[in-house]
Amino acid sequence: METKYLNADLLIIGGGSAGCMAAIRALELNPELKIIFFEKGDIKYSGSIARGMDALNIVAIPNFTTPELYIESVSMSCEGVLDLAPSYRLAARSFELLKKLQHWGVHFPVDANGNFRTLKYHIKGEFQTAMEEPDLKVIISRKAQEQGAVALNRIMGLELLLDDGRISGAVGLNVRSGELVVCGAKAVILTAGGQARFSLPNSGYLYGTFDYPGNSGDGYVMGFQAGAKLTCMEFTKSMMLIKDANMPLLAITVTRGGRVMDMLDNIIMENECANLSRMDDAYDKGLGPLRIQLRHLKPEVIDEIEGILFSTERPVQERFFRGRGIDFRKRDIELWRTEAQICGGHGMGGLYVNERAETGVPGLYAAGDAASVPKQHLSGAFVFGEVAAEEAVAFIKSNPTVKINDGQVQAVEERRNQLFTDVDRDIDVRELEYKVRRLISDYVISPKNELKLNSWLEWSGRFREELRNHIVVRNGHDLSKLYEVAHIVQCADFSARASLERKESRWGTAHRRTDYPDRDDKKWLCHILTEKGDAPEDIRTGTEPVKGLDGKKGGA
Ligand SMILES: Cc1cc2nc3c(=O)[nH]c(=O)nc-3n(C[C@H](O)[C@H](O)[C@H](O)COP(=O)(O)OP(=O)(O)OC[C@H]3O[C@@H](n4cnc5c(N)ncnc54)[C@H](O)[C@@H]3O)c2cc1C
DSSP secondary structure code for residue 447 in this structure:
S
Residue 162 pairs with which residues in a beta bridge? 167
Residue 547 pairs with which residues in a beta bridge? 553
- Looking at the fold, whether 368 and 318 belong to one and the same domain comes out as no
Q: Tell me, yes or no, whether 461 lies in a domain.
A: yes
CA distance 416 to 410: 10
CA distance 21 to 344: 17
Q: Is the pLDDT of residue 36 over 80?
A: yes
pLDDT digits (tens, 9 = 90+) for 380-397: 999 999 999 999 999 999
- Looking at the fold, whether 391 and 292 belong to one and the same domain comes out as no
Q: Which among 337, 363, 382 is the end of a domain? A: 337
Confidence at residue 120, expressed as pLDDT on a 0 to 100 scale: 86
Mean pLDDT across 527-535: 94
Residue 185 pairs with which residues in a beta bridge? 8
CA distance 108 to 94: 14
Exposure string of 436-472, with b = 16+ CB inside 10 Å and e = fewer, is bbebbbebbbbebbeebbebbbebbeebeebbeeebb
pLDDT digits (tens, 9 = 90+) for 56-78: 999 999 999 999 999 999 999 99
Confidence at residue 277, expressed as pLDDT on a 0 to 100 scale: 87
Q: Which among 337, 354, 383 is the end of a domain? A: 337
- Looking at the fold, whether 387 and 434 belong to one and the same domain comes out as no
- Looking at the fold, whether 229 and 244 belong to one and the same domain comes out as no
CA distance 438 to 199: 6
Q: Tell me, yes or no, whether 536 lies in a domain.
A: no
pLDDT band at 55 (very low <50, low <70, confident <90, very high): very high
List all residues 6 or more positions away from 121 whose beta carbon is below 8 Å from its beta carbon.
55, 57, 127, 128, 251, 255, 272, 273, 274
**CB contact at 8 A, 180 and 413:** yes
First to last CA, the chain: 56
- Looking at the fold, whether 254 and 166 belong to one and the same domain comes out as no
| Ligand 1: centre distance to CA 11 (Å) | 18
Q: Which among 303, 320, 337 is the end of a domain? A: 337
- Looking at the fold, whether 400 and 411 belong to one and the same domain comes out as no
Q: Is the pLDDT of residue 556 over 80?
A: no
Q: Tell me, yes or no, whether 92 lies in a domain.
A: no
- Looking at the fold, whether 150 and 290 belong to one and the same domain comes out as no
- Looking at the fold, whether 385 and 443 belong to one and the same domain comes out as no
Confidence at residue 399, expressed as pLDDT on a 0 to 100 scale: 86
For ligand 1, atom 48: residue with the closest CA: 47
Confidence at residue 248, expressed as pLDDT on a 0 to 100 scale: 87
Global model pTM greater than 0.95: yes
pLDDT band at 264 (very low <50, low <70, confident <90, very high): very high
Q: At what angle do helices 136-146 and 17-29 cross, to 10 degrees?
A: 30
Q: Is the pLDDT of residue 273 over 90?
A: no
If you count them, how many residues does the chain have?
556
Q: Tell me, yes or no, whether 124 lies in a domain.
A: no
Question: Up-side HSE of residue 144: CA atoms within 13 Å toward CB?
Answer: 33
Confidence at residue 551, expressed as pLDDT on a 0 to 100 scale: 85
Residue 246 belongs to domain with CATH number: 3.90.700.10
Confidence at residue 553, expressed as pLDDT on a 0 to 100 scale: 78
Confidence at residue 199, expressed as pLDDT on a 0 to 100 scale: 98
How is the beta sheet containing 53-56 ordered, strand by strand?
53-56, 128-133, 118-119
CA distance 329 to 331: 6
pLDDT band at 555 (very low <50, low <70, confident <90, very high): low
**CB contact at 8 A, 236 and 494:** no
Ligand 1 neighbours by CB, cut-off 6 Å: 13-19, 38-41, 46-49, 53-57, 156-157, 191-193, 210-212, 214-215, 218, 248, 251, 313, 345, 368-370, 377-379, 381
Give CA 448 to chain center in angstroms.
22
Report how many domains make up the chain: 3
Nearest CA-CA partner of 9 in 29, 17, 371: 29
- Looking at the fold, whether 483 and 422 belong to one and the same domain comes out as yes
| Ligand 1: centre distance to CA 454 (Å) | 31
Q: Tell me, yes or no, whether 542 lies in a domain.
A: no
Amino acid, res. 104: W
- Looking at the fold, whether 411 and 474 belong to one and the same domain comes out as yes
Read off φ and ψ for residue 285, nearest 5 degrees. Answer: -85, 5
Count of helix runs (H) and strand runs (E) in the chain: 15, 19
| Ligand 1: centre distance to CA 555 (Å) | 29
Q: Is the pLDDT of residue 537 over 90?
A: no
DSSP string of 86-100, one letter each residue: HHHHHHHHHHHHHHH
Exposure string of 286-305, with b = 16+ CB inside 10 Å and e = fewer, is ebbebbbbbeebeeeebebb
CB atoms within 10 A of CB 112: 5
Residue 164 belongs to domain with CATH number: 3.50.50.60
CA distances from 369 to 215, 283, 343, 540 (A): 9, 27, 5, 22
Q: What's the mean pLDDT when you consider all of the chain?
A: 96
| Ligand 1: centre distance to CA 518 (Å) | 33
**CB contact at 8 A, 17 and 129:** no
Nearest CA-CA partner of 340 in 209, 450, 208, 493: 209
Q: At what angle do helices 377-398 and 84-103 cross, to 10 degrees?
A: 100
Q: Tell me, yes or no, whether 100 lies in a domain.
A: no
**CB contact at 8 A, 433 and 206:** yes
**CB contact at 8 A, 121 and 128:** yes
Is the bond preceding 62 in cis, omega lying within 30 degrees of 0?
A: no
CB atoms within 10 A of CB 177: 13
pLDDT digits (tens, 9 = 90+) for 444-457: 999 999 999 999 99
pLDDT digits (tens, 9 = 90+) for 229-262: 999 999 999 999 999 999 989 989 998 999 999 9
pLDDT digits (tens, 9 = 90+) for 327-377: 999 999 999 999 999 999 999 999 999 999 999 999 999 999 999 999 999
Mutate which of 137, 342, 378 for ligand 1? The one with the most ligand atoms within 8 Å of its CB, which is 378
**CB contact at 8 A, 21 and 382:** yes
List all residues 6 or more positions away from 555 whose beta carbon is below 8 Å from its beta carbon.
80, 525, 526, 545, 546, 548
CA distances from 107 to 134, 240, 306, 315, 380 (A): 9, 28, 17, 17, 19
CA distance 96 to 279: 34
Domain, as residue range, for 450:
407-522
**CB contact at 8 A, 298 and 305:** no
Nearest CA-CA partner of 314 in 252, 366, 368: 252
Q: Tell me, yes or no, whether 183 lies in a domain.
A: yes
Percentage of the chain lying above the pLDDT 90 cut: 92
| Ligand 1: centre distance to CA 230 (Å) | 18
CA distance 471 to 93: 47
**CB contact at 8 A, 189 and 19:** yes
Q: Which atom of ligand 1 is nearest to the CA of 216?
A: 38
Q: Tell me, yes or no, whether 113 lies in a domain.
A: no
Q: Which atom of ligand 1 is nearest to the CA of 192?
A: 34
- Looking at the fold, whether 447 and 385 belong to one and the same domain comes out as no
- Looking at the fold, whether 347 and 300 belong to one and the same domain comes out as no
DSSP secondary structure code for residue 134 in this structure:
T
Residue 455 belongs to domain with CATH number: 1.20.58.100
